């Protein structure tokens, strides 16, 4: 489902991904574990083309994600979940989940918020899956942080994606709620056959929930195996301070155009 080979990405002169190899199968729940700055978010952003990798190969469900002309085709297959649930506060939980269908309805339909009956049924089913059937008609700003994050998961599921990318989805939740949210994600992977790549920086959650852990340190994969094989030495490698200081950006040649790093590249 995901096949990444020797992926590289620099920001200015700073190598952030230094040749990442990473494969994931259908229905796998892969935790990408690493300290802050390891390159986890950059890896996810390359997977849905919010960032453009510099080199290597990146295929998702048969699409060549580095060369495809239409990023929307990729983004229909790839749903994102962020640390800060990007839900629309004034909309009901149900309408937030229905926005997950916008990639599949006509422009006119989406402007008029015309959703097909089957989309509404699907949105209800997705809310039920994350335990929020009873909150469908409540405004999202009346929900707790954990419930908002679950609305975000339900919206991702309503997109019927092949892959869900979750970037530190539980970083701002208490441990009890965090576990419940990770459980929802894992059961979605198992029961719906969705490949989930979930960035985390906590070892205990990675061990508890990952089918597999990919340890990322300073832009390189330093561990890739089942959680029960993760040793203290592996954890030290994942959290080791960088041996290679960041390179300063090379001075541009005289007369060369100056490039500015942009947040959203494609
Ligand atoms: N848009 C950007 N422009 C410049 N540098 C960036 C950008 N995004 C990330 N970086 C740098 O890339 C490195 C890895 O960042 P990130 O992928 O966010 O790591 P993580 O998610 O593991 O904390 C950091 O040094 C960060 O400062
Ligand atoms: Mg990050």
Give the ligand whose atoms come closest to the C-alpha of residue 39: 1
Distances (CA, A) of 87 to 97, 165, 167, 266: 9, 16, 15, 22
Distance 36 CA to ligand 2 centre (A): 6
Contact present, 144 and 151 (Cβ < 8 Å): no
Q: Looking at residue 231, what is its pLDDT?
A: 97
The CA-based angle 112-106-157, given to 5 degrees, is: 95
Tens-digit pLDDT profile for residues 104-152: 655 555 555 667 888 999 999 999 999 999 999 999 999 999 999 999 9
The chain-wide mean pLDDT, for the chain, equals 87
Q: Given this model, what pLDDT does residue 92 score?
A: 94
Q: How confident is the model at residue 262 (pLDDT cuts 50, 70, 90)?
A: very low
pLDDT tens, 229-248? 999 999 999 999 876 655 55
Please check the confidence at residue 251 and state whether its pLDDT lies above 80. no
Nearest CA to ligand 1 atom 9: 42
Q: What is the residue with the minimal CA distance to atom 5 of ligand 1? A: 11
Residue 106 in tokens: 């006509």
Gap from CA of 18 to ligand 1 centroid (Å)? 13
| 33 within ligand 1 shell (Cβ under 6 A) | no
- At 138 the pLDDT is 97
On whether the 28-34+71-238 domain is CATH 3.40.50.300, my answer is: yes
Q: pLDDT value at position 258?
A: 43
Cβ–ligand 1 distance for 257 under 6 Å, the answer no
- Kindly give the distance from the C-alpha atom of residue 129 to the centroid of ligand 1, in angstroms, as a whole number: 33
Distance 158 CA to ligand 1 centre (A): 29
**Is the CB of 11 inside a 6 Å radius of any atom of ligand 1?**
yes
Domain ranges of the chain: 28-34+71-238
Output the pLDDT for position 87: 87
- Answer yes or no: is the C-beta of 264 below 6 A from any ligand 1 atom: no
Q: Report the 10 Å Cβ neighbour count for 15.
A: 19
pLDDT per position as a tens digit, 148-160: 999 999 999 999 9
Phi-psi region of 160 (alpha: psi -120 to 50; beta: other; left: phi over 0): left
Which ligand has its closest atom nearest to the C-alpha of 216? 1
Q: Is 215 left (phi over 0), alpha (psi -120 to 50) or beta?
A: beta
Q: What is the pLDDT of residue 86?
A: 81
For 167-223, how does the pLDDT look when each residue is reduced to its tens digit (9 = 90+)? 999 988 899 999 999 999 999 889 999 999 999 999 999 999 999 999 999 999 999
195 Cα–ligand 1 center, Å: 24
Give residue-wise pLDDT tens across range 33-44: 999 999 999 999
Pocket lining: 38 vs ligand 1, CB cutoff 6 Å: yes
List, in sequence order, every residue forming a beta bridge with 79; answer none if it has no partner. Answer: 164
Q: Tell me the C-alpha to C-alpha distance, in Å, between residue 184 and each of 29, 82, 150.
A: 11, 15, 8
Any atom of ligand 1 within 6 Å of the Cβ of 42: yes
pLDDT of residue 109: 55
Nearest CA to ligand 1 atom 27: 37
**Ligand 1: which residue has its CA nearest to atom 4?**
11
Which of the ligands is closest to the CA of residue 83? Answer: 2
Nearest ligand 1 atom, CA 36: 23
Compute the radius of gyration of the chain from its Cα atoms: 19
């Amino acid at each position: 489902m995901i096949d990444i080979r020797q992926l590289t990405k620099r920001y200015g002169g700073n190598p952030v991904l230094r040749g990442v190899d990473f494969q994931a199968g259908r229905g796998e729940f892969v935790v990408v574990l690493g300290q802050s700055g390891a390159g986890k978010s950059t890896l996810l952003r390359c997977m849905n083309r919010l960032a453009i990798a510099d080199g290597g190969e990146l295929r998702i469900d048969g699409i060549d994600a580095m060369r495809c002309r239409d990023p929307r085709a990729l983004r229909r297959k790839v749903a994102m979940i962020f640390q800060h649930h990007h839900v629309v506060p004034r909309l009901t939980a149900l309408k937030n989940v229905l926005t997950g269908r916008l990639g599949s309805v006509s422009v006119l339909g989406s402007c008029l918020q015309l959703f097909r009956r089957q989309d509404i049924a699907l949105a209800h089913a997705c809310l039920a899956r994350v335990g929020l059937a009873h909150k469908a008609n409540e405004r999202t700003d009346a929900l707790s942080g954990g419930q908002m994050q679950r609305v975000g998961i339900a919206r991702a599921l309503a997109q019927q994606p092949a892959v869900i990318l979750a970037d530190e989805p539980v970083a701002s939740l208490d441990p009890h709620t965090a576990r419940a949210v990770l459980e929802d994600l894992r059961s979605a992977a198992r029961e719906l056959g969705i490949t989930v790549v979930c960035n985390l920086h906590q070892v205990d959650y990675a061990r508890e929930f990952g089918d597999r852990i990919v340890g990322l340190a300073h832009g390189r994969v330093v561990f890739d195996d089942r959680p029960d094989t993760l040793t203290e030495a592996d954890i030290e490698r994942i959290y080791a301070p960088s041996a290679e200081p960041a390179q300063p950006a090379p001075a541009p040649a005289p007369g060369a155009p100056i490039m500015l790093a942009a947040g959203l590249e494609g």
